[in-house]
Amino acid sequence: MLSDAAALITGRTDQHIESINERHGMHKVALPAFLKLQQKAKLDGFDLSLVSSFRSFDRQLAIWNRKYTGQATVLDINEQPVNLDDLSELDKIQAIMLFSALPGASRHHWGTDIDVYAPNLLPQGQSLQLEVWEYQEGGPMHPLSIWLNENAKSCGFFRPYDCFRGGVSEEPWHLSFAPVANGLQAALSEEIIEETIETATIEGKDAIIANLSNLFSTFITNVGVFPNE
């Protein structure tokens, strides 16, 4: 039996989500903080917008299975396509987890975590790739990235993937609302993930279960924290 907390953590309910528009929703408590951050950004000339927000377990599962079966591209740390055919089951899983969370273990399930950009910084005719270079010096989103360094914290947001720690890639676009996300992260356990994977129709199930402890500590809990001064 799935507890309410486990259902929320693993993306199998959207009862905590307030819808923003047809494409986006956020945790009820995180949304007002995001709107405040968006307002601050506007004053400084950034049209702070969402790329991704809440994502359900089923959507993450679809992404996972498409990547695992080669229907969607998997990128390496240099953002080059990986040929999964040559990889062992575990290598395949680790390659996918560099950029895509294990279903049930995505912070996007919580509604507290969002991927952001500022469309008004994109050169005309250029669309966002959501790649690291775009947020680095010389990239179109660099001014926004600098602005977030200085301002995200004042609204409770931090970057769990601020740098590469040997698990998930650096994701400068990914923000997390600490006042809610920290509690959910603390409640997330290997047992909850194991139960979730066991009952799912997921590619690579046996190898995921066999290596779960390692995957859990390398990719799921291995994140940045809200900066305290």
Tokens of 106: 């995505």
Q: Which stretch binds Zn ion (CB under 5 A): 40-48, 78-86, 111-119, 125-133?
A: 111-119
Give least dist CB 85 to Zn ion, A: 27
Site string for Zn ion, 41-80 (x = CB under 5 A): ----------------------------------------
Contact call for residue 16 and Zn ion (CB under 5 A): no
Which amino acid is present at 170? E
Non-local (6+) Cβ contacts of 215 within 8 A are 93, 94, 97, 102, 208
Beta carbon nearer to Zn ion, 147 or 161: 161
Non-local (6+) Cβ contacts of 112 within 8 A are 26, 27, 30, 176, 177, 180, 181, 184
Q: For residues 139 and 191, is the Cβ–Cβ distance under 8 A?
A: no
Beta carbon nearer to Zn ion, 73 or 213: 73
Q: For residues 176 and 107, is the Cβ–Cβ distance under 8 A?
A: yes
Give least dist CB 106 to Zn ion, A: 8
Q: Which stretch binds Zn ion (CB under 5 A): 7-15, 114-122, 149-157, 180-188?
A: 114-122
Beta carbon nearer to Zn ion, 115 or 134: 115
Beta carbon nearer to Zn ion, 27 or 174: 174
Residue 46 DSSP class: -
Task: Of 173, 175, 172, give the one whose Cα is nearest residue 164.
Answer: 172
Give least dist CB 115 to Zn ion, A: 4
Q: How many residues bind Zn ion (CB under 5 A)?
A: 2
Contact call for residue 115 and Zn ion (CB under 5 A): yes
Task: Of 176, 7, 23, 121, give the one whose Cα is nearest residue 15.
Answer: 7
Q: Which stretch binds Zn ion (CB under 5 A): 71-79, 168-176, 181-189, 202-210?
A: 168-176
41 — phi, psi (to 5°)? -60, -40
Scan residues 173-192 and list those touching Zn ion (CB under 5 A): 174
158 — phi, psi (to 5°)? -140, 175
Please give the residue whose beta carbon sits closest to Zn ion in the complex.
174
Contact residues for Zn ion, defined by CB under 5 A: 115, 174
